[in-house]
């Protein structure tokens, strides 16, 4: 009995790109609608910083198999199928929104003073953050440039890391208000 397309098989289909050819059964399984989520997900606050960075990378790269290996709590006999993915990704989005809401200095810092004009420096900083990622910039904020502490901070829980990143980002903003 076939229950759906596994994430591993879906990943192989994605790798074939436009040249992918599927049979009738696979095409029907790709159209299968999701049922109620029966998988429990891990709270993002309970992950370590290195795991949440991996989670972000897998999600951005559409590597849902490895994404679910980190984010989903499943029993050894359970298999995650493609039609289960929508509920899992939806839960991930809700948890990320909650993180952003609870840490305003990290994700949505207040703007003080007059509105900044777009300059070459501001464009370069924006491109740097896009290339390196928000987590690398936050890691630098928490470690205050001491590279030797990165490996220790990677093992912190996300809750602890975001607390200190939020505090230090807010402190930096407040100190620079004239």
Domain ranges across the chain: 7-95, 124-175
> Could you tell me the sign of the dihedral formed by the alpha carbons of 11, 128, 52, 105, in that order?
negative
- Return the pLDDT at 94: 92
Residue 113 has pLDDT above 60, yes or no: no
- For the full predicted model, state whether its pTM sits above 0.85: no
Residue 152 has pLDDT above 60, yes or no: yes
Our CA angle for 88, 94, 98, nearest 5°, is 145
């Amino acid at each position: 009995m076939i229950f759906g397309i596994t994430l591993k098989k879906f990943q192989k289909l994605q790798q074939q790109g436009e040249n992918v050819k599927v049979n009738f059964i696979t095409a029907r399984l790709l159209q299968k609608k999701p049922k109620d989520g029966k998988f429990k997900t891990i709270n993002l606050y309970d992950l370590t910083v290195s795991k949440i960075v991996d989670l972000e990378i897998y999600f951005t790269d559409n590597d849902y198999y490895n994404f679910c290996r980190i984010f989903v709590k499943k029993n050894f006999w359970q298999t995650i199928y493609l039609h289960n993915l929508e509920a899992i990704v939806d839960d991930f989005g809700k948890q990320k929104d909650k993180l952003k809401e609870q840490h305003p200095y990290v994700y949505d810092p207040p703007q003080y003073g007059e509105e900044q004009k777009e300059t070459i420096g501001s464009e370069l900083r924006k491109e740097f953050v896009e290339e390196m990622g928000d987590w690398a910039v936050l890691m630098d904020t928490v470690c205050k440039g001491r590279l030797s502490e990165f490996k220790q901070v990677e093992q912190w829980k996300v809750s602890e890391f975001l607390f200190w990143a939020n505090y230090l980002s807010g402190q930096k903003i407040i100190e620079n208000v004239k």
